[in-house]
Chains A and B, each alone.
Chain A
């Protein structure tokens, strides 16, 4: 039975077992006097209980089976191959297996002439169909057994509601834990590949090397020795572009927030605030397009008319557009923290004869400073991790420079370039992307944790 059919059968079983459970509950209750009042819970809870008991173990088995099926099937196919082919190792087997799989799926096994391939295909097909059959039998069998057990279990005093509720509670805990699983998944996926990378390129080389050109070191014997994996230019480029973005976004965002929360009439505010937030809702790929096709040529022409040489993919263009993107982010975070400053402080200042701007500059901003700094750190983290704008508007050449008119490249640009170009997974080139990803994750993690901590402390202070 194919996967879809199994799932549909389970769905039908789910509905069926609900009614079975409910009916059974009503049946056992009415044998005594008082009828349904004997039941601990409402009859439908007995239905839910039986239904959940029937489906959950079956689904769990199905999921686990499906995850490991591919590996088990291919290793079984592998072991059936002639011994001399087995010695050729996994990679050539992988190719063979792919070929066999495609042929089986498209029904073109007949086109094979090599007896080894035919044998492999037959073996693969038989193992797969056995697995599928076994899976069907086991999954549906477990479901039916559980259904029977659940049915037997129902008595008037069975605490069906409590059982169902505890299942619901565990399901919720599981959902909440996905956040942790995600973090663990991120950490493991980047660390695992990075460790492989650092086997061929030393960590000091990566962290302190000033030359980055992954293209030259595809051949394993060159990797590392050529010094082509020095990530310093990438981090400097990232820093430069993020800095430009923050220089634009922080003053504009902060002043906008101040104006909106302290000066603007409610009519202007109700128009300007959502309009400003549109900037935050525009996809980054659109900003990238704008940066590459409009802003970068504009800056280059402007520079040329001033007699400056500007690269066509200057850091300034990417940084400027990234700054525009971050403005609403800074302004809405600043707005929050400025509004959290208690009115009594403003009153105190006004009461002594301060003007509005004096109050803002000397009381409100200093009081909100921790929150604002937290917001700026979050904005910095966002700028550092921003990808599409720099992929489209910043260059690929790893120049080590602080001149905003030159082209620089960033960590995220390199990750994208390394992983979208060639698909061979174990080359130092693709592994380097994960090492960069690790660096990116750690830097942004650090910024986020500090920022979130600062903001939380700040909020507690005025709560």
Chain B
């Protein structure tokens, strides 16, 4: 790469971010599911997220995009306190679910994670049978009292995840034996079996082939009617296809939030424009 190109790239990358532009907030309070104000995340001495203000609405899919290392996954993990498992990680600011502070002492992380489920980048089915994978959360939380109810729940969850037809004869086979796309749908089924209110998805299709990706995107669109979904994605096309709102992160800061259509056709911020037009990435 010549120095000229490198310099040009750096110029387009190094634009100062003062405030979040666009519409990070939702007007009607009853439409807000989760809200963060002035959210900072630190790893030891290093700050990874700087003062993010954002509302996540009920029954919407909000996509978070941005270049690698921009902090979008870190922000997502802060929403159900997955960062607690990392010893050196610290979160400050106000993060609420239905108006309640999720980082308050009274808030229980176990209860929170039952309400705010998560699907990970790499499909991670437990080394158990398909049935046990889906039943895992329900058994854990004591959601059902008898075997028949559990059977129903497993079937319903697998059906919602669009997997039941494919696996109904093999429920006792190990979940790790499925294909990558099936595994990811199994993980989604596992998550909805707990009946969460919000589902966080951390690049759920990045390890999958295009066909499996398409199936999962379709599934997300259906899930939207019952759940709030926040998805981190690497692919701008995916964000454009499935989300109602899009948030663009850059170097740990939230740059712009707008309706997805607006972000991709008429970005307000120069950085957003540079990113979606492929000047860096």
Residues of A within 8 A of B (CB): 266, 342, 344-355, 358, 362-363, 366-367
Contact = CB atoms under 8 A, between A and B. Distances in A.
14 contacts: A344-B120, A344-B124, A345-B127, A347-B82, A347-B120, A348-B120, A348-B190, A349-B136, A352-B136, A352-B137, A353-B110, A353-B113, A355-B110, A367-B126
B228 interface: no
Contacts of B141: 353
Contacts of B112: 353
Contacts of A353: 110-114, 117, 137, 140-141, 194
B182 interface: no
B246 interface: no
A352 B124 contact: no
A264 to B, nearest CB: 11
Contacts of B87: 266
Among B114, B126, B190, max chain A CB count under 10 A is at B126
B127 A351 contact: no
B118 A351 contact: yes
Contact of A367 (B111, B113, B127): B127
Given A348-B124, A353-B140, 15 more contacts: A345-B124, A345-B127, A347-B85, A348-B187, A350-B113, A351-B119, A351-B191, A352-B190, A352-B191, A353-B110, A353-B111, A354-B136, A355-B110, A366-B126, A366-B127
Contacts of A347: 82, 85, 118, 120, 124
A354 B85 CA distance: 12
Contacts of A349: 126, 136
B120 A351 contact: yes
A298 to B, nearest CB: 42
B128 A351 contact: no
A352 to B, nearest CB: 4
A351 B82 contact: yes
B122 interface: yes
B82 A362 contact: no
Contacts of B272: none
Interface string B83-126: 00101000000000000000000000011111001111010111
Interface in B186-215: 187, 190-191, 194
Contacts of B80: 351
Contact of A344 (B114, B122, B137, B140): B122
Task: Determine chain A's interface SS by DSSP, over half rule.
Answer: helix
A355 B113 CA distance: 10
A207 to B, nearest CB: 40
A343 to B, nearest CB: 8
Given A350-B82, A352-B113, A366 B120 contact: no
A346 B80 CA distance: 15
Q: Which of A342, A344, A348, A366 has the most CB of B within 10 A?
A: A348
B73 to A, nearest CB: 12
Interface in B118-156: 118-120, 122, 124-128, 136-137, 140-141
Given A344-B120, A347-B120, A366 B136 contact: no
Contact of A352 (B85, B114, B127): B114
Contact of B126 (A266, A348, A350, A355): A348
A352 B126 contact: no
A383 B104 CA distance: 51
A350 B86 CA distance: 12
A331 to B, nearest CB: 22
A367 B110 CA distance: 22
Contacts of A358: 140
Contacts of A363: 126
A313 B125 CA distance: 51
A-B complex: 5 closest residue pairs judged by Cβ atoms: A351-B118, A353-B114, A353-B113, A344-B124, A348-B124
B110 A351 contact: no
Contacts of A266: 87
A369 B223 CA distance: 36
A252 B259 CA distance: 57
A266 B88 CA distance: 12
A46 to B, nearest CB: 50
A354 B140 contact: yes
Given A344-B120, A347-B82, A362 B194 contact: no
A99 B104 CA distance: 91
A362 B136 contact: yes
Nearest to B113: A353
Contacts of A355: 110
